[in-house]
Amino acid sequence: MTRKYFGTDGIRGRVGSDMITPEFIMKLGWAAGRVLSRQGHGTVLVGKDTRISGYMFESALEAGLSAAGIDINLLGPMPTPAIAYLTRTFHAQAGIVISASHNSYFDNGIKFFSGDGTKLEDEVELAIEAEIDKPMTTVDSSRLGKASRITDAAGRYIEFCKSTVPNRISLVGLRIVVDCAHGATYHIAPRVLEELGAEVISIGVEPNGLNINDKCGSTKPEALQASVVEISADVGIALDGDGDRLIMVDAEGNLVDGDQVLYIIAMSRLFDEQLDGSVVGTVMSNLGLEHALTKQGIGFRRSKVGDRHVMNMLRESGWSLGGEGSGHIICLDRTSTGDGIVAALQVLYAMVSSQKSLDQLLTGLELYPQKLVNVPLDTPFNHDESAMVKASMKDAEKQLGDSGRILLRASGTEPLLRVMVEGQDETLVNKLADSLADTVREASKH
């Protein structure tokens, strides 16, 4: 299925260029409304993160949806997973998120959720694309969509987040630093933690439209690490601009990435006899995670890179837990999509219920050294057809044995081939990654 507009996670780009213009977003809203109107006169929820262009695109979507005869409920700044949750609870036809996730303020994008709070099926996205290329029309004035604003959206979602851990669990006695990246969780995450009893120190909670993800949040956790150490906090929580990624920090200021978070939640679920089937990671998940889970009798499967692919494998297999090293953690036994706040609460539950610190919960997990080299390509290159690359990979795999692995993956957004090598011996890993990257450079020129 060839897509003209949608990527793996909606539509995203630089504001004012390509598709990220008011004109296109209005047309996108109209096209989505046209497809949804085939199911009858329904309602769509629209939320956004805190970047300045969100106001402009909110109005554009509202106009397009109304022209197609769809009612709109505006949520204002809300985390992406909150919009997925509220779409379900309001029995809306769809939810739309205006966000560029962890990108800088000058980017923006649009993501859709189905009425079930899951990402749209491929056929629905393709149907929307087909409508975009048609001339825009307006329904009769008597059928125009109406817009209203939901004023209690934040409170509803806060209560939902708290419900994902047992009522008996209290965070009293925990000092937590939470970094909201000046993004959509700025008025949500601190309140969730406070209402559960924690002492909360908040940073990244003063959005001005331009500072989202700026030297803060899950992609830039250095300020969080420093703050945790400075005030002797028990744990740090870093979210990204739209709240679907989570990175944590232990009491010593050490980063705890998505692979480590996934391990902690899996072990907690195993102890509580609540782990449904295997755990799903991606081809980029650390080999140490796979080995640690396997040692505990927990199955581990790998999907393609991207939380959409993790989600698909979970649903196809009937399992509930998966994620990526970048911090996308999916707990399908708690919610319908990746959710940074919900994932953080599962880790805090593990800490409280076991009376262990964050670093103690990582006992049994040893992440292997991993090196990633991006090789620019001047012309298209299929590494699978290169005898030179195949021979180099075979030799490298022989040297690694069972204690490492190699992955060559073409970038989906840039003319690059990503060469990844990981294993227990860091010196060997670095040597093999550099050697294999040199082979790819040489082979791509022939």
- For the chain, list the domains and their CATH numbers: 11-151 (3.40.120.10), 157-362 (3.40.120.10), 370-444 (3.30.310.50)
- Say whether pLDDT at 286 is over 70: yes
* Burial group, residue 75, by CB count within 10 angstroms (0-12, 13-18, 19+): buried
CA distance 39 to 55: 28
**Of 166-175, 291-300, 406-415, which gets the smallest average pLDDT?**
406-415
Neighbouring residues of 292: CB distance < 8 A, sequence distance ≥ 6 = 263, 364, 365, 366
- Count other Cβ atoms within 10 Å, centred on residue 336: 21
In this structure, how many other beta carbons lie within 10 angstroms of the beta carbon of residue 130?
Answer: 13
Give the integer Cα–Cα distance in Å for 256 and 263.
11
Spatial contact of 344 and 246, defined as CB atoms under 8 Å apart = yes
The size of the chain, in residues, is 446
Residue 243 in contact with residue 353, Cβ under 8 Å? no
**CA dist., res. 279 & res. 252, Å (int):** 28
Q: Sorting pLDDT into bands at 50, 70 and 90, what band is 1?
A: low
Q: Is 44 left (phi over 0), alpha (psi -120 to 50) or beta?
A: beta
Per-residue pLDDT reduced to its tens digit, 52-107? 999 999 999 999 999 999 999 999 999 999 999 999 999 999 999 999 999 999 99
What is the arithmetic mean of pLDDT over 139-150? Answer: 96
Token pair, residue 141, equals 């004035």
pLDDT at 181: 98
pLDDT at 379: 87
Edge-to-edge strands, sheet with 43-48: 11-14, 107-114, 94-98, 43-48, 71-77, 147-149
For the stretch 6-23, pLDDT in tens is: 987 899 999 998 899 999
pLDDT at 40 over 90: no
User: Which of 10-14, 40-44, 71-75, 149-153 has the lowest average pLDDT?
Assistant: 40-44
Q: DSSP state, 121?
A: P
Burial of 360 (0-12, 13-18, 19+ CB in 10 A): exposed
Distance CA 314, CA 324 (A): 13
- Tell me what the mean pLDDT of segment 162-178 comes to: 96
First-to-last C-alpha distance (Å) of the chain: 31
Four-CA torsion 175, 331, 300, 354, nearest 10 degrees: 40
CB atoms near residue 163 (< 10 Å):
12
Rounded to 5 degrees, φ, ψ at 317 are: -95, -10
Q: What is the mean pLDDT of the chain?
A: 95
pTM value?
A: 0.93
Q: Quick check: 143 and 41 in contact, CB under 8 A?
A: yes
Average pLDDT over every residue of 127-136: 96
Residues acting as catalytic residues? 101
What pLDDT, on a 0 to 100 scale, did the predictor assign at position 414?
76
